[in-house]
Amino acid sequence: MSELLKVKHLRKEFGNNIVLKDINLSVNKGEVVVIIGPSGCGKSTFLRCLNGLEDIQGGVITIDGLPVEADKREITKLRQKIGMVFQSYELFPHLSVIDNLILAPTKVQKRSKEEATKEALVLLDKVGLLDKKDYFPRQLSGGQKQRVAIVRALLMHPEILLFDEVTAALDPEMVHEVLETMLELAKSGSTMLIVTHEMGFAEAVADRIIFFDKGEIVEESDDVEGFFIAPETERAQKFLRTFSYN
């Protein structure tokens, strides 16, 4: 597999607070990497750095060999390579589902409205929301909004998809439908970097597990089943015990 994302010696600070310390990570095309760890350990900040939403104080991030730098004009072009789905959906409340979906493809990528709409309808059908195309966000459940947000990211044809705790704001009964959508994406060969607290989902979907703590990668394993049975580090063992693992 070819390397798509490379992070070398990444450092992120907020004032005197060091949030990310010397992070090194590579992700290959078609790989699903899941990041887990306690709240406040830097997982979400890491994803925001990858997308240029946060500036960095050290290190280099490259997507397909191109550097990600938040202060460069090329960031808009680079962000088209990186789709990101947030906890909070970020849908425009005054636009219908279909208009939310085709806004970026038509405005940013200058694609025709007809072509973007046609693809959006196909993707909506795949996630079971074709009948909601003319609904407004206020008429959707949380799980439906999150699936629309995933379709919106896919419409930009990104090379890598970032998911930041996308089920955290959902009621338990809505979590399953969103995770099923993500599992289908993984099966289709999408390159994905996922931050989640859903350990069962992490075990089911990941090609590799990254365990973060206090702004550092404490443990990394491509033996996903083995990690959840017997992680090597004491810190990961303690973390998984809170989820009734080990």
Residue 45 backbone phi and psi in degrees, to 5: -60, -40
Write down the domain spans for the chain.
3-94+144-241
Q: Beta partners for 10?
A: 23
User: Is pLDDT of 117 > 60?
Assistant: yes
Euclidean distance between CA atoms 213 and 18, whole angstroms: 12
Residue range 26-53, pLDDT digits in tens? 999 999 999 999 999 999 999 999 988 8
The model's confidence at residue 74, banded by pLDDT at 50, 70 and 90, is low
Residue 75 pLDDT greater than 90, yes or no: no
* Least reliable range by pLDDT among 18-27, 202-211, 235-244: 235-244
H-type alpha helices, the chain:
43-50, 75-79, 97-107, 113-126, 142-155, 172-187, 199-205, 224-229, 234-241
Identify the band that residue 73 occupies on the pLDDT scale cut at 50, 70 and 90.
low
CA pair distance 19, 40, nearest whole angstrom: 9
User: 3-94+144-241 belongs to which homologous superfamily?
Assistant: P-loop containing nucleotide triphosphate hydrolases (3.40.50.300)
Q: pLDDT of 219-228, one tens digit each? A: 999 999 999 9
Nearest CA to 206 out of 8, 24, 2, 27 is that of 27
Amino acid 174: pLDDT: 84
Place of tokens 């390579």: 81
The predicted pLDDT at position 234 comes to 95
What pLDDT sits at residue 72? Answer: 59
Q: Which of 47-51, 69-73, 118-122 has the highest mean predicted lDDT (pLDDT)?
A: 118-122
Mean pLDDT within 131-143: 96
Distance CA(191)–CA(32), nearest Å, equals: 6
Residue 8, C-beta contacts closer than 8 angstroms, at least 6 positions apart: 24, 59, 60, 61
**pTM exceeds 0.85 for this model:** yes
